[in-house]
Amino acid sequence: MSILDLDLISLRSALTAGQISARELMQETLEKIDAVNPKFNAIVSSLDHDQCLAAATAADNAKDKTGALHGIPLAVKDLANAKGLWTSMGSPLFPKTPAAKDYLFVERMRDAGAVIFAKTNTPEFGLGSHTFNPVHGRTGNAYDPSKSAGGSSGGAAVALATRMTCIADGSDMMGSLRNPAGWNNVYGMRPSWGLVPSEPLGDTFLHQLATNGPMARTPTDLATLLTVQSGPDPRQPHGRPSQDFVRDMANFDLKGARIAYLGAWGLPFENGILDITDAALSDLRAAGAIVDEVSEPFAMRALWDSWVTLRQWTVANSLGAFYNNADTQQLLKPAALWEIENGLQLTGTQIHAASFIRSQWFAKSASMFADYDALILPSAQCWPFEGELIHPSEIAGTAMDTYHRWMQVVIPAGLIGLPVVNLPIGFGTNGLPAGVQLIGARGTDAKLLGMAHAWHHAHPYSEDHAPK
């Protein structure tokens, strides 16, 4: 077994015990990337080898080596600024200029000792659950590079699965920490909204859809990274206090946990997705959980209409400056133009109506969490599709009328900022991985991590089934 097969906790122990140096770990990482990345294209915009080794040597020579991530090589998703690295966001709009400073959550990871040396690939502006862009190209699935890696944290998920990194950061508006995790047999966590703050730019009061979060091959590593990333920022409202998630997750288990399976919820699913989900539910019951199948708790059509309205409003505001400039508008991909143009036509009354639906669903979910510890849904409605596609045009005979309709299953949690952990649940007959969303009430992140830890103890797919 290579040292790169070890999880974060084991690597930190090896570094602390002097069994390996940060420089040696970086050298192993670079050799792995050189051997593997050309096949998958998950790592982009790296420092050169000498710079990487120099940064690792600096970690070896640091006086304080107590940080939870000290000496660990880390590649940051290419939507966030990391000092010294170019942020492309997958768009040709940005010059190849190294960022002058870290985004807040990146700074926290660096302060915890991470050796940040590269970026992971993402769709253009993170739009779409399929990682390809005109700057860096497409990222291939860890288990079949001809298939989609998912997105928008596709590069992060593939880097994890293929052992190019042991942890990764991601972000999630519409499943971007869940879909690629499910499709690449790793854990991805969308934290409670506000737990991991974004950069204090633009409006920080109204747009409550996207969040940063952790990815890893074990729930303990997930909890470790979340502890580093989380905590309020005094410049932003809606923040949530941090906590020691590794410590607190130990208070929770699957035994006796009550879980509500929301079924297909009227959505189309590709053959095999619901079957492998049912098998996972049986495994959860075998681990001591009480799993009930419940009827549709809310009108999915209403959730979709609310989601599309609020997402278009959000995207129109974040990318509007590029749209309003004729030179930059022509470089935006069709999905971005569609979001912006629809968002610019929205009225205040329409936005309020969409938020009212969101409020109703939040209240309904609260009543469900009075009876259940978690809800569960598949992490995607289809298997990883052919990489050459822009997006699936249909699922199970149902036409997909937008570029993201095929990911509708992720919006119930994302719309109201609930925490979600993707659990890897094994492989289909096609040899491709799948996952389920374990969804908790807002603020129950430690409980989800504890249940995920119990799942991983019984079914360590992410550690035992590495890509060949």
Taking residues 55-78, what's their average pLDDT? 98
Q: Which residues contact 346 (CB under 8 A, 6 or more apart)?
A: 309, 312, 313, 316
Instruction: Decide the pairing of beta strands 187-190 and 258-261.
Output: unpaired
Q: Is the pLDDT of residue 109 over 90?
A: yes
Q: Which residues make Cβ contacts (< 8 Å) with residue 437, sequence separation at least 6?
A: 178, 376, 377, 378, 379, 409, 410, 413, 420, 421, 422
Average pLDDT of every residue of the chain: 97
State pLDDT tens for residues 333-344.
999 999 999 999
Name the pLDDT band for 410 (thresholds 50, 70, 90): very high
| Residue 85 reports pLDDT greater than 90 | yes
124: DSSP letter:
G
d(CA 203, CA 173): 16
Whole-structure pTM value = 0.98
> Which superfamily does 3-301+351-464 belong to?
Amidase signature (AS) domain (3.90.1300.10)
pLDDT of residue 72: 98
Burial of 351 (0-12, 13-18, 19+ CB in 10 A): middle
Q: Could you give the CA distance from residue 331 to residue 442 in angstroms, rounded to a whole number? A: 38
Q: Average pLDDT in the 262-280 region?
A: 98
| Residues 279-310 pLDDT 10s | 999 999 999 999 999 999 999 999 999 999 99
pLDDT at position 124, please?
98
- Beta strands 433-439 and 374-378 are antiparallel
What would the two tokens of residue 353 be?
Answer: 């109506």
d(CA 58, CA 115): 9
Pairing mode, if any, of strands 433-439 and 420-427?
antiparallel
CA distances from 441 to 192, 364, 419, 437, 445 (A): 8, 11, 7, 13, 8
* Cα separation, 90 vs 104, whole angstroms: 21
State mean pLDDT over 165-170: 98
* Domain ranges within the chain, ordered by starting residue: 3-301+351-464
Of the pLDDT bands very low, low, confident and very high (cuts 50, 70, 90), residue 437 is very high
- 3-class DSSP assignment, residue 128: coil
Give the residue from 410, 37, 423 showing the smallest Cα distance to 259. Answer: 423
pLDDT of residue 1: 79
